[in-house]
Structure 1
Amino acid sequence: MPLSWSSRLKIAKGTARGLAYLHECSPRKFIHGDIKPSNILLDNEFQPHISDFGLNKLMNITGCNPSSSSGFMGGALPYTNSVHPERSNSYRAPEARIPGSRPTQKWDVYSFGVVLLELLTGKSPELSSPTTSTSTEIQDLVKWVRKGFEEENPLSEMVDPLLLQEVHAKKEVLAVFHVALACTEGDPEIRPRMKTASENLERIGT
């Protein structure tokens, strides 16, 4: 079942609140380190619950690979139409892909921004586009959306076609796009804190 805009916005807000709590309110101001759709579980009312928190380190100690152990294709968010298995690296911030780099909360902010872009576009973080009749080019979702805004492409070319019927949500969709773009800035110093991202999302649709 495709998700309505109200359900997607509820998932975005709930996930942001959960991450903001981990970052700001928990005793040790934790870092999740592996935000992706298969680690965002939904109940019957589409209320999100962040899972796998703390399991990354445990799996690394025991020699398991967290990214291959979940077995999810599209994760707990049933809106993507990708045929590719979920890859943790697609959600990692650019600085997180450098060997030996130390985790920061801004890593989670970037990963959350990628999940937001999935909710908005209905696409996988890795886009496959045909270049010839026999080959395809893998594009980065973040770069694709940024290019679309820079070139001032119509919103209809980037948003999930299933949302185009909900005309009343256009302003809300655009506002969430701006939050997602802020979260996926290449420079971690420019990205907002999760608390700020959550507060900005809470203002949308109220």
Structure 2
Amino acid sequence: MVPPLKLNGQPSSSLSWSTRLRIAKGTARGLAYLHECSPRKFVHGDIKPSNILLDSDFQPHISDFGLNRLITITGNNPSSSGGFIGGALPYLKSVQSERTNNYKAPEARVPGSKPTQKWDIYSFGVVLLELLSGKSPELSPTTSTSIEVPDLVKWVRKGFEEEVPLSDMVDPVLLQEVHAKKEVLAAFHVALACTEADPEVRPRMKTVAENLEKIGT
């Protein structure tokens, strides 16, 4: 059984930077394949940690494609059309808690909006920020809020704008790996590009995967 990815709390406390980078790179490659190389240019629509499964080598596998919900979206632009694979359709009221939406792109939260690949790119960016910061964008009454941020994207973006030391934003566990500082900073910039408010400004997933592959090589 492949366990779901957990980015905060005890399960992730032992994840080294090299392992987190491997998870990020593998997830990006998987999404790039769905977007660019699959027979149909798919949109997953519900990228979040619980839908990223890790094998014994910490290689990620994207799950919850929800094939029974597969629909066809017309259009020729691969960034805004294709098959939709994922969770609840955007125009249906979700039965999940509102906090799940913290992984969704701003435009994905608008009732009636049609799914696009840019949704996946934003969600991946939030997951990447979680890997880097060790902070969850989800608020849970059962856990301490000291490691959770209501809007992780805004928190990190504000930190960069105000030139907050990287040590104040990165997961303290990673601070022990001095050699990783430059790589972590590069990954932060990739995540910020993915989580741009304007979907047209976000890079394609193929570009994201290529940029992450350059880190640590």
TM-score tier by shorter-chain length is 0.7 to 0.9
TM-score by length of structure 2 reads 0.77
Structure 2: gaps of 5 or more residues: 1-12, 71-86, 141-147
1:25-54 CA distances to partner (integer Å, 9 max, x unpaired)?
Answer: 011100000000000000000000000013
CA contact under 8 A between 1:35 and 1:91: conserved in structure 2? yes
CA contact under 8 A between 2:99 and 2:138: conserved in structure 1? no
Among residues 130, 137, 150, which one is paired with 1:139 in the alignment?
150
Percent identical pairs in the alignment equals: 81
Among residues 160, 165, 169, which one is paired with 2:180 in the alignment?
169
In structure 1, the residue matched to 2:170 is 159
Structure 2 residue 161 is matched with structure 1 residue 123: no
Alpha-carbon distance in 1 for matches of 2:198, 2:68: 25
CA contact under 8 A between 1:127 and 1:141: conserved in structure 2? no
Alpha-carbon distance in 1 for matches of 2:68, 2:159: 34
Change (3 A) 1:182 1:67: farther
Structure 1: gaps of 5 or more residues: 69-84, 129-136
In structure 2, the residue matched to 1:105 is 117
Among residues 39, 45, 60, which one is paired with 1:48 in the alignment?
60
In structure 1, the residue matched to 2:33 is 21
TM-score by length of structure 1 reads 0.81
Change (3 A) 1:60 1:106: closer
1:68-90 CA distances to partner (integer Å, 9 max, x unpaired)?
Answer: 4xxxxxxxxxxxxxxxx894211
Among residues 97, 100, 107, which one is paired with 1:95 in the alignment?
107
Alpha-carbon distance in 1 for matches of 2:151, 2:95: 19
Change (3 A) 1:60 1:205: closer
Alpha-carbon distance in 2 for matches of 1:36, 1:60: 13
4+ runs of 1 displaced by more than 6 Å? Answer: 64-67
CA RMSD of aligned residues (A): 2.4
CA contact under 8 A between 1:56 and 1:66: conserved in structure 2? no
CA contact under 8 A between 1:90 and 1:126: conserved in structure 2? yes
**Structure 1 residue 55: Cα displacement:** 4.6
**Structure 1 residue 67: Cα displacement:** 6.8
Alpha-carbon distance in 2 for matches of 1:56, 1:87: 25
**Structure 1 residue 166: Cα displacement:** 0.2
The one-letter code matched in structure 1 to 2:20 is: R
